[in-house]
Amino acid sequence: MKRSKTRQRARFCLEQLESRWVPSVSVSNPNDVLNVTGDPNGVLTVTQTAPGLWTVNDNGTDVAIDITANSGVNITTQGGDDTVILNSTTPDITGSVQINTGNGDDTVHIQNAGGAVTIQNLLLITTGNGDDTVDFPGGAVTVGGLTSINMGPALGLLGGDFANIQATATLQGGLVVSEANTLNLAGDVTGQTTINNSAPNPAGVPNSITIASTALLTGNLSITDGAGDEAATLGGTVTGNATVFQGDGANTFTLSGTGVIRGALNYNGGNNDDTVSLAGIVRGSATVNLRSGSTNTLTMDGRVLGTMSVTGSGAANNLNFNAASVIGGNLTMNLSTGANLVGINGTVGGSSLSYTGGGGVDNVTFGGTAGGARLTVNLGAGNDIFALTSNKYATLSADGGSGTDTFTNTSGPIHAGSTVKNFE
């Protein structure tokens, strides 16, 4: 009896191939400029390891080592959430640095790995749509040319766009920051400092600008805000003029006790409630335009060494010149129509202190010191109140205007050469 033969079938199996990593960024150096482009797999770190020698690392893997570039750096990433770190272990980066991260929630760090580093020319950073962060997180960084940070529209899912320039940064060619919903500036800037925001923070919180007490801005400062709420605080020193335009929103501007403007201050609010607090020093003149709004407020505890002019067209304007306030020149207030509450309890060193109201209800108190000034109060139409609680003025001219107006005097006899009329 024959045994049947059993045919054995061949077995197939898959062998694992050797792992091959494909770089997602390309590196080149045309015209001695380092170009890094692509869509990184992770954190993209571009490091100058020696003068003119660069290493590019993507997500922990070196893409290029010791590539030569002595005339600048260009880094361009594509859409997606990218993190770009520009680093240097040597003192100088020759040429300009340009970083463009495209759309996405991107982060850009400018830092050094040891000692101070100087970017000899321009630093230009552009981010696209998304909630982006630009930071100077480590070590002393100096930029010899203009520093420009353009952050583009935010989405608000991560709180908006954020820029942080630490006290270890020195920007020698001026600074332009656009569309940063939150800006913290603690470093020094030589040249014009320009801050622009055209849109509100989509995260639903006010745009915030903070210039810290450590910041020295050698030149002029310009802040321009569009629609939406904004809070701006100046705690550092501006050697030139400071110009602030806050758009239509509930805005606050604060010159803190450490803030110094060596030139003039020109503030313009928007068509909503504006709150201005001046606790620092303005060595030149100060102009405050509160514009329209339901309630505008100016609180003065600091010093303006020149003249000061305040205008307001809101439904209600509250001006508080507290006892510590000092105005070296003339003080002029024109609040037009509105329910205005004004207290003048500080010192005015000029020859004129004048208030002009409008058709609303004005309530004005003078309790300060203006020994060389003619005190002029024109209340206009409405049922107004003027209280004189200090006799430290030169002469008085008070006119209640039309309406049923009240004048109270607890300061003693009215000085010779004064006139008081149209009060019941």
Q: What pLDDT, on the 0 to 100 scale, is given for residue 114?
A: 67
Torsion of Cα atoms, 215 then 220 then 226 then 230, to 10°: 30
Q: Domain ranges in the chain?
A: 46-205, 320-424
Torsion of Cα atoms, 248 then 107 then 104 then 250, to 10°: -10
- Rounded to whole angstroms, the Cα distance separating 191 from 186 reads 15
Residues near 156 by Cβ (< 8 Å), separated by ≥ 6?
131, 201, 202, 203, 204
Q: What is the mean pLDDT of each run of 10 residues along the chain (424 residues)?
A: 47 48 83 97 95 96 96 94 94 95 95 84 96 90 97 84 95 97 97 92 89 98 91 98 93 97 96 94 97 91 98 90 98 90 98 93 97 97 96 98 96 97 94
What type of residue sits at position 339?
A
- The string of DSSP letters for 78-136 reads -SS--EEEEEESSSEE-SEEEEE--SSS-EEEE--SSS-EEE-S-EEEE--SS--EEE-
* Bridge-based pairing state of the strands 53-58 and 44-50: antiparallel
Of the candidates 349, 272, 356, the one whose C-alpha atom is nearest the C-alpha of residue 310 is 356
Q: What pLDDT, on the 0 to 100 scale, is given for residue 23?
A: 62
